[in-house]
Amino acid sequence: MSHDLQFYIDGAWVDPVVPDTLDVIDPSNEDAFARISLGSRADVDKAVAAAKRAFNTYGFTSVEERLDILNRVIEVYKKRSKDLAVAVSREMGAPRQMALDSQVGIGLAHLAKMAETLKNFQFRHVKGNHLVVKEPIGVVGLITPWNWPLNQITCKVGPALAAGCTMVLKPSEIAPLDAIIFAEIIDEAGVPKGVFNLVNGDGPGVGQALSSHPDIDMMSFTGSTRAGILVAKAAADTVKRVHQELGGKSANILFPDVDLATAVSKGVAGCFSNSGQSCNAPTRMFVPRDRHDEAAGYARTAAEKFTVGPADGANTKLGPVVSQVQFDKIQDLIQSGMDEGATLVAGGPGRPAELNRGYYVRPTVFADVTHDMRIAREEVFGPVLAILPYDTVEQAVEQANDTVYGLASYIQAKDLQKAREVAARMRSGNVYINYPQWDAGLPFGGYKQSGNGREYAEYGLEDFLEIKGIAGYEAAE
């Protein structure tokens, strides 16, 4: 039985209080292929009440009980991996194999890392005659985006379960089907009723109700900076904790000593991954001015290797972007790059010639970009790379940091010591030196308008905990 038109509340699939529906669009062909229900404040009230009741028990479970629950979720998640991949691929356009290997795979990695973290995490320690305890913060509201949906669901639900919190999840209404399957996984794994609740809906209908709800103790939000500000404002009156992972405009500084062909081609691949729809994508490539034209040539060659097509296409390397809204925003920014005088090296406005339906963006590279151009300052969230020439590394660092964002920075250099020195100066939550492998154990989060708080492993777990000091716990000698 399909649960697309239902919500998961208090351990059961239920109908919405007020019927209202929304089509789910396949970005590969612009056709509606599913329909979900949109929730209301009344649905949120039901879900929060269930979570609050469940916390009275789940908040006091042992580490061993919570670890057992996590491990059961992991096993069912593995069993449903192909179902999750198909859902993600159709709802947000990730190529089918990428959806399985990366989109679904990253979720499994987060759950596994959280189980490993929970085994060794110290929730209490004696300090003199006192005891310091880390306890679950309570009922948490989780709002997740459409671009890496399972990444964000698992790196919020995982630590919430591990901490002993109960929760209400509102996934993106643009890509909601993987979350419905995830709720089915939770149900099959036997997570106690009320611990996990799912209410689909949009920001005004469900997100605002969650953020302002007096019985929600914390909001964990991932999405745009604009929406994150609205969540924080809605949460302010109840003085709840707000954890945000927001936008980015990440710099990629290529030092003069690098193998330029390799560094540029890997930088293009990093920027275009997931059709450019990653908040930490290296979208601003800084190259030495005297090698700018050479770098632009390598970038053109790399961009032309990206085959654009439908998510289920056998040779597709870049699927569509997620929606008409995103497509239009990206087209506007590509046009702005041309209007402001950047050199179009590859791609450009419009769809690839052979594709007339679907939200397909041509893999685009601009050279001769200056620091004041929109494509150098605004988050494009599409497969668009800006190449900026620099005269000195000092100038590159200054311009890289001159942004309202601070999620990630990338540094490519043969001289590791110099790379480390520059890494220390980057105003971002993450710095990646020489394209390292992704690590689920590294903290993830931003400076400035890229958000606050951290996710992944013990850093994510800490964000779902309160600290209590119990004075006089030990008898005085």
Active-site choice (91, 155, 173, 245) = 245
User: Could you give the C-alpha distances from 221 to 68, 225, 270, 296, 460, in angstroms and in order?
Assistant: 27, 10, 24, 37, 13
Strands (DSSP E) contained in 46-165 are 124-127, 130-136, 139-143
Q: Say how many CA atoms lie within 13 Å of 451 toward its Cβ.
A: 31
Helices in 164-306 by DSSP H: which ranges?
A: 177-188, 208-212, 225-236, 260-272, 292-303
Active-site choice (155, 165, 271, 279) = 279
Name residues whose C-beta falls within 8 Å of residue 263's C-beta, 6 or more positions apart in sequence: 254, 412
421 part of the active site:
no
DSSP secondary-structure letter at 407? S
DSSP secondary-structure letter at 413? -
Distance CA 25, CA 161 (A): 31
Looking up tokens 């509102």 gives: 170
Looking up tokens 């190259």 gives: 287
The order of strands in the sheet holding 130-136 is 124-127, 130-136, 465-470
Of the candidates 242, 221, 245, 247, the one whose C-alpha atom is nearest the C-alpha of residue 405 is: 247
Q: What are phi and psi of 140, to 5 degrees?
A: -120, 145
Is the separation of the CB atoms in 406 and 246 below 8 Å?
no
279 part of the active site:
yes
Active site residues: 245, 279
